[in-house]
């Protein structure tokens, strides 16, 4: 277990060294963070205001609960698209 932690720490240090050597690469993680926050807000605020969060965790099974789960899945899909797109752009650079 400690070997895996050590390998992970070495990877973090190597990644940080690359970012320090090429400072303009930090733009991609920043854009990813901002875009992820925007996606989260655009999904979470309407879900809170419409009551979908409460419906998802309420007892019983209904159409509104299914809509809540569908919207949550769309949030997951869009969020990971943004993250993977940014990571791919970082790797391409």
DSSP for 8-67 reads HHHHHHHHHHHHHHSGGGGHHHHHHHHHHHHHHHHHHHHHHHHTHHHHHTSSS--HHHHH
Range of the domain at 38: 23-92
The per-residue pLDDT for 60 is: 66
The per-residue pLDDT for 1 is: 66
77, part of any domain: yes
Ranges in the chain, pLDDT < 70: 1, 59-60
CA–CA separation, 26 and 87 (whole Å): 11
Total domains in the chain come to 1
4, part of any domain: no
Phi and psi based region of residue 44 (left: phi greater than 0; alpha: psi -120 to 50; beta: remaining): alpha
Q: Are 82 and 36 in contact (CB under 8 A)?
A: yes
CA–CA separation, 70 and 63 (whole Å): 10
67, part of any domain: yes
3, part of any domain: no
80, part of any domain: yes
């Amino acid at each position: 277990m400690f070997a895996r932690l050590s390998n992970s720490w070495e990877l973090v240090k190597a990644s940080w060294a690359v970012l320090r050597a090429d400072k303009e690469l930090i733009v991609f993680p920043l854009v990813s963070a901002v875009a992820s926050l925007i996606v989260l807000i655009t999904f979470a605020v309407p879900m809170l205001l419409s009551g979908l969060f409460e419906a998802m965790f309420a007892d019983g099974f209904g159409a509104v609960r299914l809509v809540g789960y569908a919207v949550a899945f769309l949030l997951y899909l869009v969020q990971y698209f943004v993250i993977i797109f940014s990571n791919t752009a970082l790797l391409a650079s």
